[in-house]
Structures are given as structure tokens and as C-alpha cells.
Chains A and B, each alone.
Chain A
Amino acid sequence: MRMPESAYVLAVYHRQFVVFKKLIGSSLVSNVANPILFLFAFGFGMGSFIDTMSGMSYLTFVVAGMIAYSAAFAASFETTIGSFTRYFMQKNWDAVLSTPVTLFELLLGEVFWASAKALFSAVCVLIVGWIWGGVPLSFLPLVTLPIVFLGSICFACAGLVATAYAKGYEFFAYFFTFWVTPMFVFCGVFFDISRFPEIIQYLAWFFPMTHLVAAIRPLTAVTPLDGAAIALHICYIIVFSAASFWIAYRRLHQRLYD
């Protein structure tokens, strides 16, 4: 395999950016409107029943979860439905692979783009959350962004695994049902996972989402930090990313080359 070079990864990234620029309006609207709706419904609706959760206001609690979830959803969507369309329907990947770009670089470009888009979603939630009063005025919440970016890389890589095995769009129903939805409900987005039976808790820690939420919540809420725990969560996310990228690369190599 040739050593990946950034110029080729950026070329793939840039193509996505060109498409994104055309759709920036709708993208901004959905990325800003979605968290407003969620934060409104949960922050006010649920929040009025709940005084505090894990020692913070419910709005503050849920902002961290929503940041992680919106990043997870954006990254997952991009490397499943988006990548599969380019790969399988548009045959765009065949075109790219006829140029000096390697499959490794193509996939890195896809992952970095998906992560950038996910980070954009997360920033929108962070800003909305801050305006809404769920994020204290501090520089600490900004520290979440590189962590969210790492988490997004992880979700993008996991999505790519689904794309690598998908034969049609139907396949992604399984991916969203058994991967994305559990991340929404079992990984600490809306409530502390300590409420679950122990076995569910163990399962929850398998999902990188749980680690991401746990890593960023003290930062967005500006509560006392456990640096070692955060480092451990980040390590898990990195290992998970590398493993899923490798699986996706292997499988796609088999499918695209014969």
C-alpha cells in the first residue's frame, strides 16, 4: 500500500465541501432548529419534572448529551447513506480510484469530512445551549470540541463499516436501529446510565457514545474534572475508531478490487 498523503485526502474532503456549500442554507437551518426543538422540549418539558441530574440542572445535563448525539447522527449519516450513495449508486468511488488517489486516502477523506460536518452540528448545539442558558460562560466548554471531533471520527468509521457490508439501503435500517438508536437512549444522553440494570450498563460502555458523553459532560457543565477518566474515554474512542476503520478498509478493498 502507498503511504497516504494529505493532498489526496484533502481532494476527497474538498469535493464534499463543494457540495456542502451549495446546501449550506438547509444544513444550517436543520442543525440549528433541531437542537432548539430538542432542548426546548426536554429542557423545559422534562426539566420541569426534574430538579437536578448528576448534580446539575437538567438543561445543562441534556446539552452535553445533545452535542454528542447530534455529532453522532451527522457523522453516521454521512458515512452510511452519503458514502454508500457515492460508492454504490453514483459510482463516484470508482471514478476516484482511477486517479492517483488510493482507497485508504479516499476513506480517510470521507471520514474527515463526515467528522467536520458532525463538528459543525455540535458547535450549533453548543451555541444554542449557551444562548439557552444550559452552558456556563467559560472557556472549558470549548475544550469539548476537539474531543467531539475525535468522537465524530469514531462514529464516521463505524458508519463506514456498515457501508462496507451494505448491499442496499435496506441494510442501514439495521445500522440505525441497533447502533444509532441505542446511542440515543442507552448512552447517557437524556439520563444517567447508572439507572440501568448492571448488564445494560456494561453494554452501554461498549458504545463509544457513552464514553464521549462522559468525557464532555463535565466540560460543558463546568464541574470538577477527572482528567484520568477523560483520557481513558478518549483512548477507548481512538481504539474503536482505528479498529472499525481497519475493518471497513479491508472489506471495501475486497469489494472494489478483484
Chain B
Amino acid sequence: MENTAVITATKLNKRYGALEVVRGIDFTVPAGQCFGLLGPNGAGKSTTMRMIMGLSQITAGELTVFGEPANNMPRNIKAKIGLVPQDNNLDPDISVLENLKAFGRYFALPSTVIDARAKELLEFMQLTERKFAPVNALSGGMQRRLTIARALIGDPEMVILDEPTTGLDPQARVLIWKQLTELKKDGRTLLLTTHYMDEAQRLCDQIVIIDNGEILDQGTPKELISRHVKGFVFEVQKPGLAASAAERWDQEDIGDSVLYFVNDTAEFIADLPEESIYLHRPANLEDVFLRLTGRKLREN
């Protein structure tokens, strides 16, 4: 995979009046990778996505998409991007197939190309049997698949996915993950936001975690895990906590129990009293996320 940058943000800033929602962030999305933009509600993810799509003007800093300023994107650059928005916004007045065809026309594709791609994409997203159905007759998972198919009609080099599997059942999520992995194999760049850390860990090559408009950390899922939560997590119920002084273990008090982040499990278990009740599992991205962004509830 070539290592050219598809998106480059430099000191990117967005302000609505006095409210600063993106505070000078820097990141680079390399071509052909799946790049995850993670953060709690209100972190600045959607605003960043809107700026990348050219729907929101940047206040300061720089943002280039395929080497062109996002503020004033030429049409041929816009045509290289497929967007899967958070709400499906499919066209309810027309059928599944017509939704794809209408989108093909918005990309000014010749009708022979539209017909061929629509057929392929219906296959790809397993919607062929429902192609004449009205959109409202589809299940949530099918609507999501159609929204992804629709984003692919222009054969985009980059696909932006805003929470692609929120609200879907496990079967639907697995199918979408499989197809997103296929898209990556084709060499497409994916930019993904999600609240599911297992999804991010599974799909993303690079992750940026943002909160309050600032980048908290970035790296591969593996790097983030080893940097912030080591290899394993022990959730130990109070009062049977580790015997050694608090400084020995990297820990976080979460109320009824304490989380310990450790590299050497045997060493840690030896430090626990006999009667301790604990859960033990490999550390994951969710631990990183909660450690970095805190456990306080975010309201919209």
C-alpha cells in the first residue's frame, strides 16, 4: 500500500461563536488504511467529519483531502469520497435499486456504468432479492447495507462511515465488518467513527481518540493498549484488593471495585489475598477509551 496521505489536518480548529469544538488537532489519514476517529458524544467527531466533507467551514488551521483544501473541494475530489452518514437518509419515495441509480446520477455516471455497479453492489451487500422493495420495507440492517452500497456507487477511493453498525443485530454487524474488510483489501481508505470499541479494534489500522475537541492519543490499537492499559485487566471487588502499596500497580478505582492494568498476571495474582473476588481478561481498546476519556456520562 502506498503511504500517501488522503487527509491531512494541521492545527485544525472549529469554533461556533465562543464555543470551540475542535481545538487545533493534527492527524494524517494514510491511503489504503482504516482510520478510526473515536470519542464520546460531543467530542468533535461529527464536526471533523463535516469539515472533511466540506459541509462545515474550518475556522483556522489546515485541512486537505486528496491534496485539496476541504473548504473548497473541486468536484473531481468530491467524487472520490463516499459517505455513510449516521442517519441513513435514504430516499423513501423510491425503491432500493432506484436509490442506487439516483445516487449514480448525482455522480454524473453513464447509465450503463450505473446499472452494472448497482447490480454488483446489491450482490455485495446481499440486497439483490429486495431490489424492488421500497426503502421503508427494509429492516434496520438492510437499510444500513443499502446506505453503504449507495456510498460505493461512485467507486470512491475513500469511504467515510459515521457509526456504520449502531443499532444493528450481531449478524448484521458481522456482515458489515466483513464487507468493510473487503473494501480495505480493494485498497480503499476508510474513515470510521464508532462507539463500539470491539469494532474499532477489529477494523482500524490507526486510531485517534478525541475529547473536548482535542486529540488525547493516537496510534495502532495495539500501541494504544500497551501504552495505556498494559496487557491484562483485573477487576477486583472491594475489599480484597492487592496487598502491595498502591504505587506498585497501575490502577483505577471505579467504585465497588478497582481495575488493575498489569503485564505479568502471575505476579499480580500472587499479590492478591486468597479471598479476593476478581475478573481477569486481556486489556482492550474499551479500557483505553474509558481511561482516556473518563467514565463520566456524556449527554448530548
Chain A residues packing against B (C-beta within 8 Å): 2, 5, 7-8, 10-12, 14-15, 18-19, 22, 90-92, 94-101, 256-258
Residues of B within 8 A of A12 (CB): 106
Q: Are A11 and B56 in contact, with the CB atoms below 8 A? A: no
With A99-B107, A257-B55, A258-B56 in contact, is A15–B92 under 8 Å at CB? Answer: no
**How would residues 11 to 22 of chain B score, 1 for a CB under 8 Å from any chain A CB and 0 otherwise?**
000001000000
Residue B93 lies at the interface, judged by CB distance under 8 Å to chain A: yes
Tell me, in angstroms, the Cα distance from A95 to B55 when the chains sit together: 11
Tell whether A98 pairs with B108 under 8 Å between CB atoms, given A15-B94, A258-B57: no
A98 close to B83 (CB less than 8 A): yes
Is A97's CB under 8 angstroms from B55's CB?
Answer: yes
CB contact under 8 A between A96 and B85, given known A18-B94, A258-B56: no
Q: Which residue of A lies closest to B81 (CB)?
A: A98
User: Within 8 Å CB of B50, what residues of A?
Assistant: 258
How long is the Cα–Cα vector from A4 to B88 in the complex, in angstroms? 27
State the interface size on chain B (CB cutoff 8 A): 29
Closest to A96 in B: B106
From the candidates B85, B91, B92, name the one contacting A98 in the complex (CB within 8 A). Answer: B85
* Distance to closest chain A CB from B129 (angstroms): 21
Inside 8 A of A90's CB, which chain B residues have their CB?
89, 91-93
B82, chain A: closest CB distance, angstroms: 8
Assembled-state Cα–Cα distance A5/B74 (Å) = 13
B84-99 CB mask vs A (1 if < 8 Å, else 0) is 0101011111100010
Report which of B16, B91, B94, B108 forms a contact with A11, defined as CB distance below 8 A.
B108
Given contacts A8-B106, A92-B91, contact A100 B55 (CB under 8 A): no
Nearest CB of chain A from residue B128's CB, rounded to whole Å: 20
Can you name 17 extra interface pairs (CB under 8 A) apart from A8-B108, A14-B105, A94-B85? A5-B108, A11-B105, A11-B106, A12-B106, A18-B94, A18-B98, A90-B92, A90-B93, A94-B89, A95-B103, A95-B150, A99-B79, A100-B154, A101-B106, A257-B57, A258-B55, A258-B57
